[in-house]
Amino acid sequence: MPEKLTIQDIARLARVSKATVSRVLNHHPSVSPETRTRVMRIVQEYDFVPNATATGLAGGKTRLIGVLAPPLTWAGISEILRGVAEYVEDTSYEIVLYSISFDRDHFDVLDRILSMRMVSGLLAILPGKLSRHITERFHQGLPLVMIDDQEKPGIVPWVGIDNVSSAYAATRHLLERGHRRIAYIHGPQDYYCTIERYQGYAQALRDAGISPDPTLVFHGRFDTPSGRECAAELFARDRSTWPSAIFAGNDQMAYGVLQVAEQRGIQIPGDIALVGFDDDLLARHLKPPLTTIHQPFSQMGYKAIELLLTLIDPDHRAARAQRKGEAPPESEPAISFEDVRAGQPIRLLLPTSLVVRASSGAPRSLSIGP
């Protein structure tokens, strides 16, 4: 017997197949209690530590899931990954994280990852320019789920939010506080969420009987410097033309507005009310704390990885419940990867919420709209 046992050694000693050993190690509910006990007795006797990749390959697939994500400094990414980790912790799968930047297409990186055939599926978080390339891989048979707000959802299973209704709620909040002139700061023009958030902003104004004013629309890049640039452009105008409120398309740009306002002695919300979008971890700690739309980033990660694992292994939820010592989950209609590939897209829209803090101020005397 070699010093370090392999899964083949465990199978031989327990008089079972390698696939059975893999199912035992992965807590699959299909294994009989007697077989499970016999295999685990040998595992414990020889202090066997399974290799995630080798264990998966013995059962015909790996137990590794690839996660493609932007740098952790990007807003919301750390919270999304926290949700992914929370779910995966109670499964037999492990995560391989691949971090990408936004200044390259990364086609070569993705192809290299997938050509190694070391992952059973891929969770793509804000893949940007890679979206179309990833979709090709999905058509070729790779289980995939996207968390994306840059491209319009397609056939690949998708997890996100309703940007239109969320932006509508943010604008409506300002209208209900009596504001009639509300500026809006766009994100990147080629992002689908930018288009949707403007639609929600404009529709809320129209429903209140107000025509959107193009002179109050500014174009940012979803980062703090562009928020500063837009604020500087606005505050350079004659003060009599200023809006009474600003809706920034994300919190990062709202931070830039706050910085310029502080430098110029402009009071928020005294002179201008401000609302953001995302509810970043810093939003509540600003002076003043930022009113914003809360995106459920952690829940996005949790639901996305749950969906991906269900596409890979429909039985994994039962195994996860057993691993946690919980009752088996209620049966749900089976999600077939082949059905999804054939044209039955899955889109999970998670609810957002308006978090009211000091930056939007107290209600004004005038109430607008129905």
Condensed to tens digits (0 to 9), the pLDDT of residues 25-81 reads: 766 667 888 888 888 888 877 766 655 544 444 444 678 898 999 888 888 999 999
Segment 179-195 shows an average pLDDT of: 95
Would you state the pLDDT for residue 17? Answer: 85
Average pLDDT over residues 305-333: 80
Q: CB-based contacts of 63: which residues, under 8 Å, 6+ apart?
A: 26, 52, 53, 55, 56, 92, 93, 94, 120
Q: How confident is the model at residue 367 (pLDDT cuts 50, 70, 90)?
A: very low
Closest CA to 149 of 253, 248, 250, 252: 250
pLDDT of residue 59: 46
For domain 7-58, give the CATH superfamily.
lambda repressor-like DNA-binding domains (1.10.260.40)
- Angle at 209 (CA atoms; ends 172, 178), nearest 5 degrees: 45
Q: Are 359 and 274 in contact (CB under 8 A)?
A: yes
Find the mean pLDDT for residues 187-215: 96
Q: What angle do CA 262, 264, 269 make, to 5 degrees?
A: 50
Percent of the chain with pLDDT over 70: 84
| The pLDDT value given to residue 118 | 73
**Among 52-56, 261-265, 314-318, which stretch is predicted with the lowest mean pLDDT?**
52-56
Instruction: Give the burial class of 364: count Cβ atoms within 10 A of its Cβ; 0-12 exposed, 13-18 middle, 19 or more buried.
Output: middle
Which of the four pLDDT bands, split at 50, 70 and 90, describes residue 369?
A: very low
More confident residue, 56 or 247: 247
The pLDDT confidence band at residue 103, using thresholds 50, 70 and 90, is low
Tell me, what amino acid is at 291?
T
Alpha-carbon gap, residue 146 to 362, rounded angstroms: 39
Q: What is the mean pLDDT of residues 244-252?
A: 97
CA 313 – CA 9 distance, rounded (Å): 26
Could you tell me the two tokens for 104?
A: 């390259």
- Residue 8: predicted pLDDT: 78
**Average model confidence (pLDDT) across the chain:** 85
pLDDT-derived band of residue 106, with 50, 70 and 90 as boundaries?
A: low
Q: How do the domains of the chain map onto residue ranges?
A: 7-58, 163-294+353-360
Of residues 336 and 24, more confidently modeled: 24
Q: What is the DSSP letter of 219?
A: E
Domains 7-58 and 163-294+353-360 share a fold: no
Domain 163-294+353-360: CATH superfamily is Response regulator (3.40.50.2300)
pLDDT band at 253 (very low <50, low <70, confident <90, very high): very high
Give CA–CA dist 131/81, Å, rounded. Answer: 19
Residue 199 has pLDDT above 80, yes or no: yes
Task: Evaluate if residue 188 carries a pLDDT over 60.
Answer: yes
* Across 150-174, average pLDDT: 94
CB contact at 8 A, 172 and 275: no
Q: Are 168 and 332 in contact (CB under 8 A)?
A: no
**Who has greater pLDDT, 267 or 364?**
267
**What is the average pLDDT across 206-232?**
97
The b-or-e profile of 197-213 (16+ CB within 10 A means b, else e) is bbebbbbbbeebebeee
* Candidate from 5-9, 184-188, 311-315 with smallest mean pLDDT: 5-9
54 vs 143, higher pLDDT: 143
Residue where the block lists tokens 């031989």: 12
Residue 114 has pLDDT above 80, yes or no: no
pLDDT of 110 strictly over 90: no
